[in-house]
Each structure stands twice: as structure tokens, then as C-alpha cells.
Chain A
Amino acid sequence: MAAVGIVYGRGDARRYETNPATRETDWVKWLILTAALSFFLLFLLMPLIAVFTEALRKGWLTYLTAITDPDALSSVRLTLLVAAISVPLNLVFGVAAAWAIAKFEFRGKRFLTTLIDLPFSVSPVIAGLIFVLLFGAHGWFGAWLFEHDIKIIFAVPGIVLATVFITVPFVARELIPLMEAQGREEEEAAVVLGASGFQAFWRVTLPNIKWGLLYGVILCNARAMGEFGAVSVVSGHIRGQTNTMPLHVEILYNEYNFAAAFAVASLLALLALVTLALKTFIEWKVERGMRDTV
């Protein structure tokens, strides 16, 4: 995984750098460094700074008013609610799928692996459309849902469904290579020693994958809160009811209410920064753990 690459990558780089036989000339190094850094400055750091400067352009008071606006607060609540439902769902599903794929042999294993990647390869808009086609007023189950007075599309359940679909791969993708690398021996040892399946999972498997799992959950959470395309299709953009933060930002922006749009956007950006910090911390933890076991 990414974390593994970093561990080996750093050691290698240092070796190549200090060995005159493998070292590149200085100008090559500086050229590549400059190109990479200026690209990152221009395309990654600048927008981030822009978000915060635009948000605070009209002063703290406007900023505070914008984010305490009832519609804005409702969008924050909805975003948190959606994440609070879809992240645990994907946590359970991801662990189960990774467990099944890494530790058992069964028919259709490859198919399941491919299926998990599907949300990555399908455009989010299409993902949203699928749910409209299934549960919308004219969809397959539309009539039945109408009869029983259940609202899915243009309501919170639809948003949750779309978000769950989009974020399926994150936890499973993170865990499969990790669990495959760890093999089955420790679980076998636990079972021979008399542990039940649940005890083996809780006392042996889970502690071994906890950092990878947390890493996957953080990425999953970031995506769940930030998802726009799929959610946009199924939400219906009802202010104060079915607007998540990304959707709310878009509406404010379309109304030329730039300061408010950037204010809400800055909350999302803050979330991204927190995610990054957590991610770096976990990578550092994993790296240290790996150094201990090697």
C-alpha cells in the first residue's frame, strides 16, 4: 500500500543520493524539484489559500453570519448525518469483504474484487442516476414506494444510498492487501489455542489491521462528506432539507453570494486539512510499527 511504498522509498532515495555511482547531477535534481513544487503550489496550495482569503474577504462577522445561517447549519447537520450512517456501514462491509477475500478461497472471489472497484470506475453522476432509475417516481420501484408513502429520491435515504455506493471501495481496498500480506497463520494459531472465530477476530485480526482500518475510514469519511456528483442527482436541492455542504456551496455560488459560498467551502477545506493531518499521523504510526516488526 501507500504506506509501504513510503517506507522503502525513503531508504532507497537516501542510498541513491549518497552513492556517487547512482547520483544524478545537481541540475537534474533541481529541475525536477522545481517543476514538481511549482506545480503543487499552483494547483494545490493556491486554491486552498484562495478559499480561506475569499471566505474572510468581508471580515469575520460576515463569515460567522454565513456559517451560522440556518440553511448552512442544516447542510452541516445533513452532511454529518450522512457520513455517520455511510461510514459505519462501509466499515462493516469493508472488513467483511476484505476478510472474505484475503483469508478464504471461494468461487467468484475475483468477481467480488472487481465489483468492489466499480464505484471508482463509474462516474458519480451515473451512480446517482442509477438510484433515480430504481427508486424515482418513474423508476422500477417508484410506484410501490409511492403507495407505501416511502420517499427515497429527493430525500435523505437517497443521499445516504448514493454516498454508501460511492464510498464502498475505501475501507476494503485499504485492508485487502494488508490482510493478504499478514496471511492466516496467526488466526490459525489462535484457533488451535481454543479461541472462537469471534475471539480470533477481536483479539488477533483486528489489532493487526487497526491502523490500516483507521486510514481507510478516514479516506472514506472525507469522500462521504465531500461527495458532490452522485448526491447532487438524488438530492433535489431542497434548502434546509436535502442540501449537503457541497450542494449548499454550489447554490450559494450560483446566487452570486461568494462570501457565504467560500465560508461554507472553508469548512469543507478545514475538514480536508484535518483528514490530511490524521492520515499523516497514521502513516507515521504504521511506518514505525513496520520498522519494529522488520
Chain B
Amino acid sequence: MSIQVKEIHKQFGAFVALDQVSLDFPTGALTALLGPSGCGKTTLLRVIAGLETADSGRVILEGEDASDTHVRQRRVGFVFQHYALFRHMTVLENVAFGLRVKPRRERPDDAEIRRRVHRLLDLVQLDALAERFPSQLSGGQRQRVALARALAVEPRVLLLDEPFGALDAQVRKELRRWLRRLHDELQVTSIFVTHDQEEALEVADRVVLMNRGRVEQVDTPTEVYERPATPFVYGFLGAVNVFHGRIEGPHLRVGEATLPHEQTQVIHGAEAVAFSRPHELRIVTDPDTPHGVAAVVERVLTFGADVRVELDSLPGAALRGEPAHYEVVMPRAQVDALALTRGQRVRLVPSQIRVFPSQAA
């Protein structure tokens, strides 16, 4: 089922949680709402579920305006960050709840309820624990019960609010993969909220990046990572190096250094900010190279297949009063060939940079 939100606006006092947000969630896709805390992603999810009412705007489920429909009638499955399992009920009763509260004429008989619950518990691989209470389960198991409970009412959409937020890293990774598999199996339109960019890029078909109540970019994980639309997205997705400077034709002047760029929409002489990923920078040990930003090697971290080099800007060359830090990731063999030492002066030459006008940053 498709979900659309149109010009949703929501304010808590003076704080604007959602600022005229319009989005389209295609049928059957798994979409991630990604952003820093306070960006409005959870509020948007709760507005779609009907747990929160927007000040203005519309929620359209399956082409029908659902803005004034009660939560009960929206038939959404909602998974809470802290599970919100009914603590006085067994796992079986938790999952059966949505079926048991149905009006009598729609309610399946007890045997049918049990059959369906066991099938769902099979699906989330928890059938052996049906008689346990939530307090006797681990965090990952609780979240799987919460998911089975949400699926029991055969929801038209599945909404997950930071579903793995309260779990430790190992379990999180496992559940991520499992959620993806489950989604491929069920094909139910799903939206999940997360502040973890790795989680969003790994699990989702589409990523919606949000910041300060606005949508910054909507795209596939590859696109948002490779071609961030705004400086915010660049900074939020993965490590990034930032250069502040001024446009001079085909170059960006950063202090006394120049960096070549290929953007065409920027105006000559404008203040600009440029971004480059750690693997897009090259370290040149010859200080007389014409291009590249001068830097001092601070630390070489040699664990893993790739080596991370941390660098500082030259003393005194700091722009806008703040010293800049840079990060470069290179294959081990290249770093070994350079034989970098701490305090060594080098130049950083980007193989690729993206330039944005400064006021946007």
C-alpha cells in the first residue's frame, strides 16, 4: 500500500518539528527516515500512524485521505523503540492481542488465533518461547515479539521507530539483516526511523534524509552516499573532509592553496565550502606540488586493511580562526611507500570534491 504525506506541519510550542513535509512512500518498499535526533523523523512516523496529529497537512493511505481517521482504523503496524510489550502478558498473548480485541463478528475463534500466533512466532523464530513473559526475554527477542505483534493484525503498512536503537551492536547487526529478509518475504510497505546512517544505507530501498523538520534528500542508498544533495547530507553520511574557500574559476582557493573542481553552477568569487571523502584524498609528500592543501601528519592508525591518516592544518593557516582536521583513508601498501612520520608536512590533493555555495552550509 502506498503512503503519501502532503505539506505536514507540526509545531511543539515555538519548536518546529515538521516544516511543510511532503513525501511519497511507494508500495512494497522499505524506506528509512534518517536524521539527527530532533530532526522530526519520529514525529513524522507518529503522524503517519495517527499517534500524533499534524497542525496542518494530510496523510494519504492507499489514495484515501486518512488525516482524520482514528489510529484504530488506520490498520498500521507500529513497532516502538522500547518494544512497549504488555508486561503482564505472555509472548503468545502479546501477539494475540490485536486479534482478541477485534469486534466479535470479525474475531477469529480461539483455535484460529492460536494457529495464527504460532505461525507468526515461527516467522520470528520465537515459537519455543511462547509461554514466557517479556521480562524473561533478551532485547533482541523482545523486539522480534513486538514485530510479530504488529504483524498479527495484517497491517497495511509497517512503521518502526528506531527498532534497533536500544540493542547492542552485535544484536543490531544481526536483526538488520533479518529485518531485510523478512521484508523481502512479506513485501509490506515499511518505514523505519533511525539516526544510524549505516543502518539506513544497509537495510533500506530508499533513504529519506531529514534535518530540522525538513527533507534534505530522497534517494537510493547508493545515490545519497555518492551524490549528496546538500552540505548537511554530506556531513551526516560518513566521515568527510571540509574545505572553506573562495571560487576562482576552475579552482577553489583555500588560504594559499588551490583545489581544482568541476562544478559549473558556482559563481566566480563566491564564498564556498567543499567536501571530500577520506578515500578521495591523496597525500603528496613533495611540498612543492602546485595544488593541494598543506597539512601536518598527526597520527597514522594502522589497524585494518585500510590505513587511516589523521592530519591537522598548518599552524597559522587556519581559516576563520578554527584549525581544520583532515582524515585520509588509503590502502596499507600506499601508506607504507610514503613512510609518513608524525609532524611531517604534506599536501592533500583531492581526486574528487563537491562544492556548495557557503550560505547553504
Closest Cβ of chain A to B13, distance in Å, is 12
Inter-chain contact count A-B, CB under 8 Å?
Answer: 63
The verdict on A194 contacting B87 (CB below 8 Å), with A185-B80, A292-B135 known, is no
Residue B239 CB within 8 A of the other chain = no
A186 sits at the interface (CB 8 A): yes
Q: Among B49, B51, B82, B101, which residue has the most Cβ atoms of chain A within 10 A? A: B101
**Chain B CB within 10 Å — which of A186, A189, A190 has the most?**
A189
Contact pick for B71, options A192, A199, A208, A294, CB 8 Å: A192
* CB <8 Å contact, B101 and A293: no
Interface residues on A, range: 10 to 19
The distance in angstroms between the C-alpha atoms of A79 and B8, with both chains bound, is 59
Query: Within the assembled complex, what's the spacing in Å between the Cα atoms of A186 and B136?
Result: 18
Is there a chain B Cβ closer than 8 Å to A196's Cβ? yes
Residue among B51, B87, B97, B133 making CB contact with A193, cutoff 8 Å:
B97
**B-side contacts of A194, CB under 8 Å:** 72, 75, 98, 101-102, 153
Whole-angstrom CA separation of A294 from B87 in the bound complex = 11
Chain B: CB-nearest residue to A189: B84
**Could you tell me the distance between the alpha carbons of A188 and B72 in the complex, rounded to whole angstroms?**
10
Task: Tell me which of A185, A192, A195, A208 contacts B49 (CB under 8 A).
Answer: A192
Question: What's the least CB distance linking A7 to chain B, in Å?
Answer: 15
Q: What distance in Å separates the Cβ of A282 from its nearest Cβ neighbour in chain B?
A: 16
* Given A189-B78, A292-B135, A293-B135, A195-B97 contact (CB < 8 Å): yes
Taking the complex as formed, is B232 at the interface, i.e. its CB lies under 8 A from any CB of chain A? no
The yes or no answer to B149 lying at the interface (CB within 8 A) is: yes
Contact B82 A204 (CB under 8 A): no
Within 8 A of A (CB), among B300-349: none
Interface residues of A in 165-193 (CB under 8 A from B): 185-186, 188-193
The reply to whether the CB of A207 lies closer than 8 angstroms to some CB of chain B is yes
Dominant secondary structure at the A interface: helix
Asked if A285 CB lies within 8 Å of chain B CBs, one says no
Q: Does A203 contact B (CB under 8 A)?
A: yes
Q: Are A192 and B88 in contact (CB under 8 A)?
A: no
Known interface pairs A188-B80, A192-B78; A203-B133 also in contact (CB < 8 Å): no
How far apart sit A292 and B72, CA to CA, in the bound complex (Å)?
31
* C-alpha spacing A199/B107, complex, angstroms: 14
Q: Give 1 or 0 for each of A275-294: 1 = CB within 8 Å of chain B CB.
A: 00000000000000000111
Which residues 57-112 in B have Cβ within 8 Å of A in the complex? 71-72, 75-78, 80, 82, 84-88, 97-98, 101-102
Instruction: Tell me the complex Cα distance, A199–B97, Å.
Output: 10
Residues of A within 8 A of B150 (CB): 192-193
User: Closest residue of chain B to A188, judged by CB?
Assistant: B51
A186 touches B153 (CB 8 A): no
Chain B residue at minimum C-beta to C-beta distance from A292: B135
> Taking A192-B49, A195-B72, A292-B133 as contacts, is the C-beta distance between A207 and B88 under 8 angstroms?
yes
- A199, B98: Cα distance in complex, Å: 11
List B contacts of A191 (CB < 8 A): 71-72
Known: A185-B80, A192-B78. A203 touches B101 (CB 8 A): yes
- Chain A residues within 8 Å of B75, by CB: 194
Chain A residues in 8 Å Cβ range of B101:
190, 193-196, 199, 203
Given A185-B80, A207-B88; A192-B51 close (CB under 8 Å):
yes
Can you list 18 residue pairs at the A/B interface with Cβ under 8 Å? A185-B82, A186-B84, A186-B87, A189-B78, A189-B86, A189-B149, A190-B97, A191-B72, A192-B71, A192-B78, A193-B97, A193-B101, A194-B98, A194-B153, A196-B101, A292-B133, A292-B136, A293-B135
